[in-house]
Structure 1
């Protein structure tokens, strides 16, 4: 759990810096996503795999840096509206109740709050290798 907390902390630090720079350049005001870990559960019937569940709160205008997860990522929008897209795929706008999937080889090229005035929140369930980083920046 400490390793996951440290990973999440480092990931958030990087994401916050990248999102701040990107937002400052494009919107004039930095807005960072807030990632909250909910649980991690080893998948005992699938050796070496675990599930990590997180929530992501997007303030108005929040934008993610380009990244990947090296995991099967299942997104469920709780409130607001978000825009998601992976390299080679179609950009989609999702509202509360909508879902989105990213595979382990997908590069998440678009992730942002669709609104500049209202917050958005979603939950992500990641099926990944045990102990592996869940957020990998892509340049």
Structure 2
């Protein structure tokens, strides 16, 4: 099942990232699909959202937050991830990355301009909170 509102939000954010003075085209947006959404009765008010995210060649995310604990696990290709105040890391299949509820996700992109990259995202979040919060 594809998450249309999430994909649309990411596309809107990517489009807004165009630098007017340079007329730079936005990076291709990611393709996001929901794997599971499950409330956690043992943790009142919390739910887990699992997604797959595929970056097309040259694809990237805009700067954003999750207001959740986010764990990613790379399935295919390689991605570059980073949060404000941290180092950018290049991840390949089998490697993982974490970002906390207060982290600003400043870098999320495909490391390749020729091949797609795909990863699994596991978000532990408050019920009903949006999975992605754009940052201007």
**Could you tell me the TM-score, scaled by structure 1's length?**
0.87
The superposition leaves residues 19-72 of structure 1 with CA deviations (integer Å, 9 ceiling, x where unpaired) of 24547954x575221000000111110100000000001100001000000000
The alpha-carbon distance between structure 1 residues 102 and 89, as it changes in their structure 2 partners (threshold 3 A), is same
Distance across 1 between alignment mates of 2:26 and 2:50: 29
Shift of 1:94: 0.4
- 87, 93, 96: which is aligned to 1:99? 96
Structure-2 residue corresponding to 1:12: 7
Distance across 2 between alignment mates of 1:135 and 1:29: 18
Aligned residue pair count: 132
What SS does the corresponding residue of 1:13 show, helix, strand or coil?
helix
**Could you tell me the TM-score, scaled by structure 2's length?**
0.89
Ranges of 4+ aligned residues in structure 1 off by more than 3 Å: 20-26
Structure-1 residue corresponding to 2:127: 130
Q: How does 1:30-41 map to 2 (within 5 A)?
A: 30-41=27-38
- Could you list the runs of 5+ residues in structure 1 that have no partner in the other structure? none
Distance across 1 between alignment mates of 2:27 and 2:96: 27
Shift of 1:102: 0.4
- Could you list the runs of 5+ residues in structure 2 that have no partner in the other structure? none
Distance across 1 between alignment mates of 2:127 and 2:105: 21
The alpha-carbon distance between structure 1 residues 117 and 134, as it changes in their structure 2 partners (threshold 3 A), is same
Shift of 1:95: 0.4
8 Å contact from structure 1 (residues 20, 31) kept in 2: no
The alpha-carbon distance between structure 1 residues 39 and 135, as it changes in their structure 2 partners (threshold 3 A), is same
